[in-house]
Amino acid sequence: MVLAHDTTAALTTAAAFINTGVGSPDTLRTPADLDRFLDEQQFSGSRAHTLGELRAVRHLRALLAQLWTADEVALADGVNQLLRNSRALPQVLRHDNWGWHLHCTSPAAPLEERMATEAAMALADVLRGGELGRLGICDAPDCSAVTLDLTRNRSKRYCDTGNCGNREHVRSYRTRRAGRETSPRPAKGP
């Protein structure tokens, strides 16, 4: 899958954003938590640093979580709704360390609108490319975090939020090893 660098970045940010609400505790509990997340993701533009902004962003997070595993029709409907709500007006811009890329709202637009359009445009690219299989849920039985598979061979099974892949590999190894220890050993030769 070949995606533009800004699409890949927006999808990676969207996955990380959704995963801030997976499990306990929620990692976006305060405006400072939101600021920290946005700084880590290098998300540009204005911020209000208020509880109202935090509530709006957390509401968006819930919507994006639903869209992440939606079928094509539901995803298209959701993307279109997000773009309509934020009055998206795509523009090609270059700033900071980024080359040419799309922004669909003004840098002064409310944070939740900017985040919504970034995610919506990236999800639209995934949908248009027929790549919904790249969006998923972690295969670990005790995890519900979302995954973004950007690998060539579509082999990503576990999330990036914790240690799920390592835990599952250890669990599998221990299960195999326990099976060998309990099975009868073949008789030795003459």
* pLDDT above 80 (res 79): yes
The reported pLDDT for the residue numbered 190 is 57
The reported pLDDT for the residue numbered 93 is 82
Q: Is residue 179 part of a domain?
A: no
Share of the chain above pLDDT 90, in %: 65
Encoded tokens for 169: 């590999």
The reported pLDDT for the residue numbered 3 is 85
How many whole angstroms separate alpha carbon 183 and alpha carbon 22? 40
CA 56 to mean position of chain CA atoms: 18
The runs of H, that is alpha helices, within 103-163 are 111-128
Q: Is residue 159 part of a domain?
A: no
Amino acid sitting at position 113 = E
Average pLDDT value over all residues in the chain = 90
Residue 120 near residue 17 (C-beta atoms within 8 A)? no
| Residue with the larger pLDDT of the pair 148 and 180 | 148
Residue 103 near residue 91 (C-beta atoms within 8 A)? yes
The reported pLDDT for the residue numbered 1 is 56
Q: Is residue 43 part of a domain?
A: yes
Residue 164 near residue 143 (C-beta atoms within 8 A)? yes
- The total of structural domains in the chain comes to 1
What's the domain range around 50? 5-132
| Residue with the larger pLDDT of the pair 103 and 153 | 153
Encoded tokens for 150: 């950007």
Q: What is the CATH number of the domain that holds 82?
A: 1.10.3300.10
Q: Is residue 169 part of a domain?
A: no
The reported pLDDT for the residue numbered 167 is 84
Residue 121 near residue 10 (C-beta atoms within 8 A)? yes
How many whole angstroms separate alpha carbon 90 and alpha carbon 108? 14
Q: Is residue 74 part of a domain?
A: yes
Q: Is residue 149 part of a domain?
A: no
Q: Is residue 167 part of a domain?
A: no
The reported pLDDT for the residue numbered 179 is 77
Highest mean pLDDT among 11-15, 23-27, 174-178, 181-185 belongs to 11-15
Q: Is residue 157 part of a domain?
A: no
